[in-house]
Amino acid sequence: MTLKLLPTITSPADLKALPIDDLPVLADEIRHAIYEQVSRSGGHLAPNLGVVELTLALHYVFDFGHDRLLFDVGHQCYPHKLLTGRYPVLDKLRTREGMSGFPEPRESGFDLFSVGHAGTAISTAVGMARGDLLTGEGFDRETKPDGRRTVALVGDASIVNGVAMEGLNNAGTLKRQFLVVLNDNGMSIAKPQGAVAAYLDRVRTSMTYRHVKRAARDAILQLPGGSIIGELYHRAGEMTKAAIAENAWFEHFGLLTVGPIDGHDLRTLIGLLVEIKDFDRPLILHAHTIKGKGFEHCEDDATTFHSPKPFTVEGSKVRLKSGGRSFTAAFADALDDLMERDEQVVACTAAMPDGTGLTKVQTRFPDRVWDTGICESHAMDMMAGLAKTGLKPFFAVYSTFLQRAFDQAFQEVSLQGLPVRLCLDRAGLVGGDGAVHHGFCDISILRVLPGAALLAAMDEPSLRAGLEFMRTYDTGLSAMRYPRDAVADPKRHDIGECPAFEFGKARALHIEEKPDAVILGYGVMAVTALEARQLLSEEYRISVYDARFAKPVDLELVRQLTAENIPILTIEDHTIVGGFGSCVLEACHEAGLPTTNIHRLAIPEHWIYQDSRARQLAEVGLDAAGIARTIRELLDRPEEASEVPVVRSTHRQGSAIDSRTRSNLDT
């Protein structure tokens, strides 16, 4: 498809200069540009295809260089980015040189928050709406007609998230303009779960634009907050009156509800937005959209095409690029085996059955596997309840989303001494999703919990062995981390059969009789350490261990190594603050062991932005070459420098978009 309009859009001002009749053409161009790029690079596809017209209409009516636009589940922001001048960097999507796949203030002033977690937009929008009132910048029809309006765009079923409910509850108390646009596509990443999702599904199938014309003042006045709603009804334009929903669930939060309307009908969208943009009370615009709109295979399988790898289309067949066997696939097979052997094993995920690998086991064991929807806190508590009944619950969750359930891990799991098992996918640096999704702090937050056992998998055999250990660990919470990456071939480094996990014990991978240094690798970093050892084989004798546990540390091994005064380098794909290396240092301190010869290599204390995982690891010195470089620095340094206990990578790459952001990185 030849793009004629999209390359001319350098800002929303260019969009506003177009006649409405040209907007469907621009929508098609945006849709094709996103599709073609994601087919080459991977990225979030179906969510962005479904929100094109909605985004066009919002930018056509509002001025988001002045007004506030907050995104929920930021992976639906690609059309927004193309309308705000970032088409020239679309071809480097999700790389350091191109645009992020999520809203990113470092790129543009049109992005207010760097956000990739669900449920946040309404609450942050309420905060900005209140802040603008206090500073005198908020819109008011009578006193501040040039003030800032506030819009929250919510999609992919994140409206059912608990934080979104809290935001709605508070939004209903606002006495000013406040618009929540509900992009209701009937999907989360997978099929949405729960009563609210079921309600929205009923609304979509039972109410159309023609049906809601029956709305009348008497019906509206009977609802909670009816006097306010009735007043707004009288102020509304004819199109808005026709679209006001009777008995809408959101009215109970004090929000007038308009819709559902066709989220792909540009004229209706623009007409309604023009009429409601100045309402001086909170309002929800309920728009029904199709996830994956415009491409049949995306519409038919929106889950697969939610965030696909690069792909090709050959006739009616779509082929996704293979990146090798993933840890997620390995986990799915291992859990399937556990559930086959042990009927007490149950599992759940929070809206990520495909992303965590649970789709396979959910098909085989539908009565023992649950998708709770986007609600990690509830999922953790539900797992605690299952554990209390004597079952063996496994909670498969991305490391970045575990943070949302820490309070429940503390109160309902650890404090009760319940054996809930956490399977932490996407641990460490995650590649193209960037800073919003890195699993960089799971060790730090979980190690404070008494009785917790923290494990990491280095390859598929160790993943299986770790899950088996967790199945029988009943002392308290246990967690195993593994990355968004392909599993290594255990035969490649000749490390032999994988032994069973023994509580708090490391595994020797390569032993030298009189080593110059020892590497304790945590998780997949143990495999990278073996590669670094090979790079150094003609220079130094390096022993390598798979640490296996961050809690408890193999103190017996560390005691032996420190007694021999051998330099020890701990390596982890986790922040240096409170991670595995810190566990080793603290264990040594408590045991009265010397720590001057213990050095740490980990993710440094600055944000690592979007790029391939391989490039991110190299950036912070966690690839084989970087580890070898650190070992050389340790062993070649003069005697007077040997007291320095910490090694950090300080190498940084430049800005993703332009030179203006480099100063932000350096500060």
Catalytic residue set: 291, 376, 404
Strands 311-314 and 317-320: antiparallel
Strands 392-398 and 421-425: parallel
Strands 517-521 and 568-575: parallel
Rg for the chain (alpha carbons), in Å?
A: 27
Alpha helices in 392-480 (DSSP H): 399-402, 406-408, 442-446, 460-472
Burial tier of 325 (Cβ tally within 10 Å: 0-12, 13-18, 19+): middle
Place of tokens 């005691």: 559
Q: CB of 420 within 8 A of CB of 376?
A: no
Q: CB of 27 within 8 A of CB of 56?
A: yes
Q: CB of 420 within 8 A of CB of 388?
A: no
Cα separations in angstroms, 601 against 220, 404, 563, 626, 649: 62, 27, 22, 10, 7
Strands 478-481 and 568-575: unpaired
CB contact set of 563 (below 8 Å; sequence gap of 6+)? none
| CA–CA separation, 301 and 294 (whole Å) | 13
What is the C-alpha end-to-end distance of the chain, expressed in Å?
43
Structure tokens at 589: 């301190």
Q: Is the dihedral of CA 652, 658, 661, 663 positive or negative?
A: positive
Q: Three-class SS of residue 521?
A: strand
> Which residue in 609, 612, 545, 620 sits closest to 575, CA to CA?
620
Q: CB of 361 within 8 A of CB of 332?
A: yes
Strands laid side by side in the 68-71 sheet: 68-71, 150-155, 178-184, 282-288, 256-262
Opening angle at CA 155, ends 40 and 286, nearest 5: 135
Alpha helices in 194-310 (DSSP H): 195-206, 217-221, 226-235, 238-243, 266-276, 296-300
Q: Cis link prior to 19 (omega < 30° from 0)?
A: no
* Other Cβ atoms closer than 10 A to 142: 6
Q: CB of 83 within 8 A of CB of 52?
A: no
Torsion of CA 194, 198, 201, 206, to 10 degrees: -170
| CA–CA separation, 175 and 177 (whole Å) | 7
Instruction: For 98-128, give one letter per residue: b (16+ CB within 10 A) or e.
Output: bbbbbbbebbbebbbbbbbbbbbbbbbbbeb
| CA–CA separation, 633 and 627 (whole Å) | 10
